[in-house]
């Protein structure tokens, strides 16, 4: 089983360009299942010995441990992908995880920020030069809809400040070009002047005060401090600003396909989950657009 898992992870890395985070998640899920299978069978398990009953008992064990339905569904998806690969390679004849139903997960509407909420978070007086870094971070998260990981991975040459475009490397190492606005340009320009005084030794766009690349955790800490300083009581994360980016574009008439491209989603159904349109807006669009409204 260990050799099969290693081959699958190489496939994810070399052929699917899966991110290190994705590979790590698959590895953890498969190792956990292998441990369960060995306990159930009483010996080192081979991939050909796994059947749907063994997978079902694994899921039942997760349920008894109190694991959330979301996490259980992800682990089942990992097993399906793993055995689908083994079937394609001729190692096993059938996928034992295919016939099992995923735990039903309630669709959760993400935290919705109004345009006024976002303005309250993003627009603040810059009392210190380092505040421009926070402004640039917030403007790019909301103004370009970036994931936190995509933001901290940006290098200086990913920015085209003349055209106000940023080259983003998303999931699966896929590149996309995203525009950003005048306010983001103002914040970025001011931040870059402060950045130059740090004389960083890296090409990273966002750096810490020691001149190293800013981490994902640091971005979340800066955002949390900003949220604590304003009267927004909602839980706000970098992804919340990405949700707001998509929702506000849609509310102002942007095409869903265009939003999909800007977000870097492979599936349109994923983009639909990132958008939150209130009923009043839907009624307004219906009233203006439907011939029998």
Selected catalytic residue, list 69, 239, 273, 281: 239
Selected catalytic residue, list 147, 195, 243, 276: 147
CA distances from 117 to 55, 97, 172, 279 (A): 45, 44, 32, 19
Mean pLDDT for the stretch of residues 174-199: 92
Does the annotation mark 171 as catalytic? yes
Percent above pLDDT 70 for the chain: 91
Mean pLDDT across the chain: 86
pLDDT band for 285, please (50, 70, 90 cuts): low
Phi, psi of 167 (to 5 degrees): -90, 125
Q: What is the pLDDT of residues 10-38, one digit of tens each?
A: 999 888 878 788 899 999 999 999 999 99
Q: What is the pLDDT of residues 49-80, one digit of tens each?
A: 999 999 999 999 988 998 888 888 999 999 99
Least confident segment among 154-158, 217-221, 254-258? 254-258
pLDDT of residue 90: 93
Q: Are the beta carbons of 110 and 243 closer than 8 angstroms?
A: yes
pLDDT of residue 129: 85
Domains along the sequence of the chain with CATH = 2-88 (1.10.150), 115-286 (1.10.443.10)
DSSP string, the chain: -HHHHHHHHHHHHHTS---HHHHHHHHHHHHHHHHHHHHHHTS---GGG--HHHHHHHHHHHHHTT--HHHHHHHHHHHHHHHHHHHHTTS-SS-TTTTSPPPP-PPPPPP---HHHHHHHH-----STTHHHHHHHHHHHHHS---HHHHHT-BGGGEETTTTEEEEE-GGG-EEEEE--HHHHHHHHHHHHHHHHH--SS-BSSB-TTSSBPPHHHHHHHHHHHHHTSS--S---HHHHHHHHHHHHHHTT--HHHHHHHHT-S-HHHHHHT----HHHHHHHHHHH-TT-
Total-model pTM: 0.69
Does the annotation mark 63 as catalytic? no
How big is the CA angle at 163 (ends 160 and 169), to the nearest 5 degrees?
A: 45
Selected catalytic residue, list 242, 243, 248, 276: 242
Selected catalytic residue, list 112, 167, 171, 183: 171
Evaluate the CA torsion angle 3, 45, 22, 11 in order and state its sign: positive
Mean pLDDT for the stretch of residues 144-167: 93
């Amino acid at each position: 089983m260990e050799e099969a898992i290693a081959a699958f992870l190489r496939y994810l890395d070399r052929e699917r360009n899966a991110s290190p985070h994705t590979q790590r998640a698959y590895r953890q899920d498969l190792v956990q299942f292998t441990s369960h299978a060995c306990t159930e069978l009483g010996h080192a398990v081979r991939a050909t010995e796994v059947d749907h009953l063994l997978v079902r008992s694994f899921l039942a064990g997760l349920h008894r441990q109190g694991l959330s339905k979301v996490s259980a569904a992800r682990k089942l998806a990992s097993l399906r992908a793993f055995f689908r690969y083994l079937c394609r390679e001729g190692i096993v004849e059938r996928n034992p995880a295919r016939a099992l139903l995923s735990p039903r997960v309630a669709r959760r509407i993400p935290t919705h920020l109004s345009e006024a909420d976002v303005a309250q978070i993003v627009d603040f007086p810059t009392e210190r030069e380092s505040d421009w870094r926070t402004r640039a971070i917030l403007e790019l998260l909301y103004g370009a809809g970036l994931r936190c990981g995509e933001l901290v991975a940006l290098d200086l040459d990913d920015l085209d400040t003349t055209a106000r475009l940023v080259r983003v490397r998303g999931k699966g190492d896929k590149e996309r070009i995203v525009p950003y606005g005048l306010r983001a340009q103002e914040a970025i320009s001011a931040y870059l002047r402060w950045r130059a005084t740090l004389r960083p030794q890296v090409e990273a766009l966002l750096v810490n005060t020691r001149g190293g690349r800013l981490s994902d955790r640091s971005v979340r800490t800066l955002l949390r401090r900003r949220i604590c300083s304003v009267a927004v009581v909602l839980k706000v994360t970098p992804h919340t600003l990405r949700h707001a980016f998509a929702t506000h574009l849609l509310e102002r008439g942007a095409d869903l396909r265009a939003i999909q491209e800007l977000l870097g989603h492979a599936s349109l159904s994923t983009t639909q989950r990132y958008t939150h349109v209130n009923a009043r807006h839907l009624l307004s669009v219906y009233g203006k657009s439907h011939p029998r409204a």
